Amino acid sequence: MVNITHKNNTLRKAMAEAVLSVSSQETIDAIVNNSVPKGNVFEMSKTAGLFAAKKTSDVIPDCHPIPIEYTSIQFEIRDLEIYITSEIHTIYKTGVEVEAMHSASVVALTMYDMLKPIDKNIEIRNIRLIEKKGGKSDLKDSGVGINASVIVCSDSIFAGKKEDKAGKAIISALEKNLVSIDDYIIIPDEIVEIQSKINFYVQNGISLVMITGGTGLSKRDVTPEAVRPLLEREIPGVAEAIRNYGQLRTPYSMLSRSIAGMIGETLVIALPGSTKGAEESMDAIFPGILHIYKIINEGKH
């Protein structure tokens, strides 16, 4: 199965359709009048569709078991065709389009099974996804036109005793979001040095300043103390999202002192210094964080 542990839980919806075609008006009348020998076709097939939605991962090998939090199955008769729609909602890390299509197809199969004694020419066709919503694919925010500078705050990396991996992971994530990299620099854990670099980038019109390192609780971790006095507007929700995402993966995330905010039109974000911490923090907030630039440029969401 595909690894989805890096994804965020979001509201996800899908609607699928299947079409059942019968050969005579008598079959339609029998369904509507509830005179089919095997029972109420709509109620029986709807029940089967509800079960199918919840059991999709049991029959489709690569589907993840997910919480099905809402299912609606509807029928519409058009001449000799019955249009079946299955709508499913969940709050989870992956979508429910296969669950919706599986549900609609099982509804159609159940109807076929119930109707075959009275109609030998039934067809099931056009099982398809009508729409899906939720997840990163719905986020239209792009890093096109945004430039970034990445600051690595680490005494040991600055001294050449360790290799930087966190800063490079941040750069890789930024590039995937189409953000252009203006500068990449390694500096020691010094308040004056950190503030000097941030001010330089702000004065030179950099859109985004990403800092990694110095957000822990050792005596040399001073990044939040350097960043906070410079911020004109702190954005607490960014740091909350980072810690919440991390807490689901390690209990040590609560010890991180990540911080984010605006200086003029420059967004400054300080992330953990570990490679994993930096990678997970980027997964937690991108691409949604890029919506800030739409707000800045248009004054609206």
| Candidate list 62, 113, 138, 141, residue with the active-site label | 113
pTM given for the model: 0.76
At 263-288, the pLDDT tens digits run 999 999 999 999 999 999 999 999 99
Are the C-beta atoms of residues 263 and 301 closer than 8 Å to each other?
A: no
Q: CB-side exposure of 145: number of CA atoms within 13 Å?
A: 7
Q: Is 113 a catalytic residue?
A: yes
| Cα 16 from Cα 14, distance rounded (Å) | 7
At 135-162, the pLDDT tens digits run 766 666 789 999 999 999 999 999 999 9
Are the C-beta atoms of residues 256 and 277 closer than 8 Å to each other?
A: yes
| Cα 73 from Cα 106, distance rounded (Å) | 11
| Cα 148 from Cα 127, distance rounded (Å) | 45
* Mean local confidence (pLDDT), 112-117: 97
